[in-house]
Amino acid sequence: MDKRNIQLDDNGQLRHFLTIEGLKRQLLVDILDAAESFTSVTEQTVKKVPLLRGKTIVNLFFESSTRTRTTFELAAKRLSADVLNININASATTKGETLLDTQRNLEAMQCDMFVVRHAVSGAAHFIARHAAPHVSVINAGDGSHAHPTQAMLDMFTIRHHKGEFHKLRVAIVGDILHSRVARSQIHALSTLGVEEIRVIGPKTLIPVEAHTLGVHVHHDLRTGLRDIDVIITLRLQHERMSGAFLPSEHEYFQLYGLTEARLELAKPDAIIMHPGPINRGVEIESAVADGPRSVILNQVAHGTAVRMAIMAKAMQRLPNLSARELH
């Protein structure tokens, strides 16, 4: 089934947010613009807007995460929704209940949205295909496939610091093969029209089909970083590696770790990003992660506003944000 048809309703409006792939540029821009409006909410005395009042949002995290789950919960509460966090380790799925049974039971309780994180690629799509007509599904990360909300907060951070996308050269460094974030970032950057996307890493950590994604592949960090505007470093996804992809973390850092010296190869105003969690001394040294060109904490700060925008739009309360609704 066409993923775009799953994500969009009969009127072409966003219903589910499962992947960046197949979405139009204007939809991504609308989300970024809405997130810009929501950033002011955190500066208010009462950090809430009534857009999703009366709605119930369920966080279904079959895979552990602190940062992502927390920002989704905070985003839902700031939209005035009721939030239900399911403790998967204590849920009926550990007693043999199927994922579909869990979904059906929650729908029977009149829940309106599922935020799904799962170790299996395609889990969020599966839930979306079987969702009741009134339910929206947000993919909070599935296997090595996609992490679209992370990609959108990364795009928001890039636009916040760099403005327009079309003149930018962006480098993604590290474990591209196992990274769902990298795949979503590449689709988002391509859709938003950046000038060039480079992926940098050892051959064992670059997908063989990388060229089909419209990126330039580099195995040498020094050549890959030349004249780059944005550097996104990724952690090594050890939990998804089933073989000897690297001799050692020490050797990886010697060849691909982002240091202050290597950062000099990029443009003087290049920004440094990382979706987290950071492994200092493996993919990035502390002097860079904490340095003046790092916007890593900005990414975290932007996560709530961007997820507010995505959730509100999936529930059909955007794009027209009025001043009355925001205050």
Quick check: 234 and 179 in contact, CB under 8 A?
yes
CA-to-CA distance for 197 and 158, rounded, in angstroms? 14
Closest listed residue to residue 31, CA positions, set 17, 44, 45: 17
Which positions ≥6 away from 136 have C-beta within 8 Å? 15, 16, 17, 112, 113, 114, 311, 314, 315
Angle at 63 between CA 154 and CA 274, to 5 degrees: 25
Q: Where are the alpha helices (DSSP H) in the chain?
A: 3-7, 25-38, 67-78, 99-108, 123-129, 148-162, 180-192, 221-224, 249-256, 260-263, 286-289, 296-314, 323-326
- Residues in the chain predicted with pLDDT less than 50, given as ranges, are 1-4, 240-244, 319, 322-324, 327
Angle at 41 between CA 38 and CA 45, to 5 degrees: 180
The Cβ of residue 139 has, within 10 Å, a number of other Cβ atoms equal to 28
Give the pLDDT score at 95: 53
Quick check: 114 and 139 in contact, CB under 8 A?
no
Whether 3-146+303-326 and 148-300 share one fold: the answer is yes
Strands 113-118 and 196-200, how do they pair?
Answer: unpaired
CA-to-CA distance for 166 and 194, rounded, in angstroms? 4
Convert the pLDDT of each residue in 158-214 to its tens digit.
Answer: 999 999 999 999 999 999 998 999 999 999 999 999 999 999 999 999 999 898 999
Q: Does domain 3-146+303-326 have CATH number 3.40.50.300?
A: no
Quick check: 224 and 198 in contact, CB under 8 A?
yes
- Any idea where the domains of the chain sit in the sequence? 3-146+303-326, 148-300
CA-to-CA distance for 53 and 63, rounded, in angstroms? 28
Q: Which two tokens stand for residue 179?
A: 């990274």
148-300: CATH, from 3.40.50.1370, 3.20.190.10, 3.30.2310.20, 3.40.50.1360: 3.40.50.1370
CA-to-CA distance for 69 and 140, rounded, in angstroms? 8
Give the pLDDT score at 322: 45
